[in-house]
Amino acid sequence: MLLVRGGTVITADSSQPADVLCGDDGAILAVGSGLERPTGAQVLDAGGLLVMPGGIDPHTHMEMPFMGEVASDDFFTGTAAGLAGGTTSIIDFVIPEQGGSLIDAWRAWRSKAEKAAADYGFHVAVTHWDERVSEEMGELVRDHGVSSFKHFMAYKGALMVDDGVLMRSLARAFELGALCNIHAENGEAVAWLQADLLAHGLTGPASHAASRPPLVEGEAAQRVIAIAGVHGAPVYIVHVSTEDATRAIAEARARGQRVYGEVLAQHLVIDDSVYKTDDWLSSARHVMSPPFRPRHHLDALWAGLASGTLQTTATDHCCFCEGAKRKGENDFTKIPNGTPGIEDRMSVLWDHGVRTGRLTPQEFVAVTSTNTARIFNMHPRKGLIAVGADADLVLWDPEGSRTISAATHHQNVDYNVFEGMTVTGLARHTITRGVLAWSDGDLRAVRGAGRYVERPCGNADMMASTLRAAARDPLVVA
């Protein structure tokens, strides 16, 4: 047993002094002020610290095969780095082979993830459509604890699906009570722009950003919102990076549609100036999709979080070292897409968000864990501090300061997009299912300690949407 004593417990809706007792089974046994220390219980002094639910990163790609490379952080190193930053759960993406079985892919990912040091779940990608896909979606939901499916509107010739597949897959998922998440960029426009830029000899990383302008993301967001709207189904848009997509979500919500948006810590604080450099490698290391944006988009994203238009924060953690990035030296379309982030998300959010007044501490909790747990059906096991919930906690030092660097981070990758940034607010201790996994700079992550989190379908939002869709007269349209 572990007694976290003397801290201030912050949840998505309140802030008050309280102790937290974590049981040996990994669940929270008690929350309250002046809790007795049970015999044998270890005591962790949380004086001056904020006790918050451990972070959940709903968007990571550990050891993902992509563009001929494999992401360098595996499920162990990646989750361990997460623990060092206060993140205690991830949801990673299962990507089936072209035309392949979703179940087979899910099994393969389950196997790879057994080494994880923290808990994990999976979204499963739908990259084509046929009867088997439809059936396997059902099986994943019924038997394997998968309640969300991923779709790519970009990556033409690889992962991209067209509107016909989206129509079918969203309908099927809605029928199952599962949520669809969407990478929203117009893949045809991107492909044309890539070819056009290459044809003009513009082969460097700056072309990556130029080939994926904001309107290409805004368009796709609008489109999938319309498609979901046809069904009355909720939809979740990953890595919203633009004012355009944020506004599309806000407008849909203003019409009563349940649309969710996720934003990456990286997109919140880094702008497109990273591509305006002669340092090829530095620029290539910032190649991700969507790319970094002009500064006014960052303001819109922060406001999106504070206003409730965007609900979650993530990292799209996907690490490629110099060797991999160099594959695209003569052709920006060959640079593996992705940046690291899992270790620093929470500090960056706190420093740039809470300390500036953009977010309250409660909102910080909501967007780093609680909303994610609710939307993706990990609630009430994850994302809150309450009796019976998993004892996944971060003891946050709001005044602690550190300077981010690849030289000191725990991520298995040779750079950090926040390199040199000094942030105030850090994870002093991280507890995963009752076990101290990070303590004052000491990383005690245990290979294989993480558990697969089954995520059931049909949360309150989904049920409300189903009710509402059922009530629609199919012959009456707005």
β pairing state of 422-432 and 435-439: antiparallel
Closest distance to Zn ion from the beta carbon of 90 (Å)? 12
Distances (CA, A) of 158 to 95, 97, 99, 127, 293: 11, 10, 11, 8, 25
Type of residue numbered 134:
S
Q: Answer yes or no: are the C-beta atoms of 301 and 307 closer than 8 Å.
A: no
Closest distance to Zn ion from the beta carbon of 289 (Å)? 6
Closest distance to a second copy from the beta carbon of 245 (Å)? 12
Closest CA to 243 of 235, 253, 231, 251: 251
Among Zn ion, a second copy, none, residue 463 binds (CB under 5-8 Å by kind):
a second copy
Among a second copy, Zn ion, none, residue 206 binds (CB under 5-8 Å by kind):
a second copy
User: Which of the stretches 41-49, 306-314, 316-324, 466-474 binds Zn ion when contact is defined by CB under 5 A?
Assistant: 316-324
Among Zn ion, a second copy, none, residue 97 binds (CB under 5-8 Å by kind):
none
Complex with Zn ion: residue 154 or 349, whichever CB lies closer: 154
Among Zn ion, a second copy, none, residue 39 binds (CB under 5-8 Å by kind):
none
Number of residues near Zn ion (by CB under 5 A): 2
Residues 6+ apart with CB under 8 A from 12: 362, 363, 365, 366, 370, 371, 383, 384
Q: In 56-204, where does DSSP find H-type helix?
A: 75-85, 102-112, 131-143, 163-176, 187-199
Complex with a second copy: residue 83 or 305, whichever CB lies closer: 305
Among a second copy, Zn ion, none, residue 203 binds (CB under 5-8 Å by kind):
none
Closest distance to a second copy from the beta carbon of 225 (Å)? 8
Q: Answer yes or no: are the C-beta atoms of 61 and 338 closer than 8 Å.
A: yes
Among Zn ion, a second copy, none, residue 183 binds (CB under 5-8 Å by kind):
Zn ion
Q: Under rule CB under 5 A, which residues in 171-190 are in contact with Zn ion?
A: 183
User: Which of the stretches 80-88, 245-253, 315-323, 388-396 binds Zn ion when contact is defined by CB under 5 A?
Assistant: 315-323
Q: Which residue has the tokens 């490379």?
A: 69
Q: Answer yes or no: are the C-beta atoms of 335 and 348 closer than 8 Å.
A: no
Q: Under rule CB under 5 A, which residues in 263-282 are in contact with Zn ion?
A: none
Rounded to a whole number of angstroms, the CA Rg of the chain reads: 21
Closest distance to Zn ion from the beta carbon of 9 (Å)? 32
Residue nearest Zn ion (C-beta atom):
183
Q: b/e for 178-202, b at 16 or more Cβ within 10 A?
A: bbbbbbbbbbebbbebbeebbeeee
Complex with a second copy: residue 32 or 65, whichever CB lies closer: 32
Q: Pick from 316, 363, 390, 392: which binds Zn ion (CB under 5 A)?
A: 316
Closest distance to a second copy from the beta carbon of 145 (Å)? 19
Closest distance to Zn ion from the beta carbon of 238 (Å)? 6
Type of residue numbered 439:
S
* Angle, CA 72 vertex, CA 119 and CA 146 arms, to 5°: 35
Among Zn ion, a second copy, none, residue 316 binds (CB under 5-8 Å by kind):
Zn ion
Binding site for Zn ion (CB under 5 A): 183, 316
